[in-house]
Amino acid sequence: MDFGHILDLISSHGIQGILFALGALIFWILDSMFGLPKILSKIFYSILELVLKKKINSSEGDHSMKNISDSDINNHDIFNYLNFWIYSKIPTLEFSSEFRTIVFRKYLTIYLQKHKILFKKFIEDKKFCDMDDTQLWNSLLSLINEIIYDYETEMTSVGIPRIIIEKMKSRNNERISLTIDLIEGICNSDFYNSEKNYLKVYSILNIYLAILENTISGSVKVCDLINGQLKGMSMDGKTEP
């Protein structure tokens, strides 16, 4: 996702596009420029919240910003992007060798599929609609842990080398930590209060969409940093030279 995609979302989805675009910019700008230093990300996120509050409170503000509905959650852009990545983008990604291409494609496909399945399950069971802030936060933390456990377990079972799982995990750890902090902030903020927690869940999905895109683009860097540790390994008839 580049700046052009972000502008497209703003123009096509109005206020909801802004909600996503600003959430995406937290990760897109800071990771591109600084590698996501935690303090700068939190400062940027605080500015985001102040901008949105000003928008809502202004006389010209669009109060539909807080009128996120059940349909907006069920049809969130994250699911369209997940389908696009899984079925169109990942199968065309090329890495530095045939073996690495096979392995990283499998890694990313499993990674995205687990997010898609478990996000859908979380949304469709509707339990979040009746939760207080603490319950919502704990439920989302459990969801994150379940996603990580499930994708790492399946990756291991299909034979993805442990070194790749660990290298990707190391790269993702700072993002996961920041994500947890941001989710906790949203859950505990009165600003995001709305009917049935819709605005909180919608905003959290926006943040996660940016993270997933960043993981895909970052996989190439991880691949290029693995030198010699995959030599002689094979998968689907391809061996690392």
Q: Please report whether residue 84 resides in a domain.
A: yes
Q: Please report whether residue 163 resides in a domain.
A: yes
Residues 6+ apart with CB under 8 A from 1: 24, 28, 210, 213
Q: Please report whether residue 9 resides in a domain.
A: no
Q: Please report whether residue 18 resides in a domain.
A: no
Whole-number pLDDT of residue 94:
95
Of 62-71, 89-98, 147-156, 221-230, which range is least confident?
Answer: 62-71
Whether the full predicted model's pTM is greater than 0.85, yes or no, is: no
Q: Please report whether residue 39 resides in a domain.
A: no
Q: Could you report the per-residue pLDDT of 7-55, keeping only the tens digit for each?
A: 344 344 444 444 544 555 555 445 544 444 455 555 555 555 555 455 4
Beta bridge partners of 238: 235
Q: Please report whether residue 160 resides in a domain.
A: yes
Q: Please report whether residue 74 resides in a domain.
A: yes
Burial class (CB in 10 A: 0-12, 13-18, 19+), 165: middle
Q: Could you report the per-residue pLDDT of 117-157, keeping only the tens digit for each?
A: 999 999 999 999 999 999 999 999 999 999 999 999 999 99
The arithmetic mean of pLDDT across residues 217-237, rounded, is 91
| Range of the structural domain that residue 175 is part of | 68-239
Q: Please report whether residue 72 resides in a domain.
A: yes
Whole-number pLDDT of residue 66:
57
Residues 6+ apart with CB under 8 A from 64: 14, 15
Q: Output the six-digit token pair for 47.
A: 């500015």
Q: How confident is the model at residue 191 (pLDDT cuts 50, 70, 90)?
A: confident
Under 8 Å between Cβ of 204 and 183: yes
- Nearest to 216, CA basis, from 15, 67, 1, 40: 1
Q: Please, what is the angle between helix 3-34 and helix 77-84, to 10°?
A: 80
Whole-number pLDDT of residue 45:
53
Query: How many domains does the chain contain in total?
Result: 1
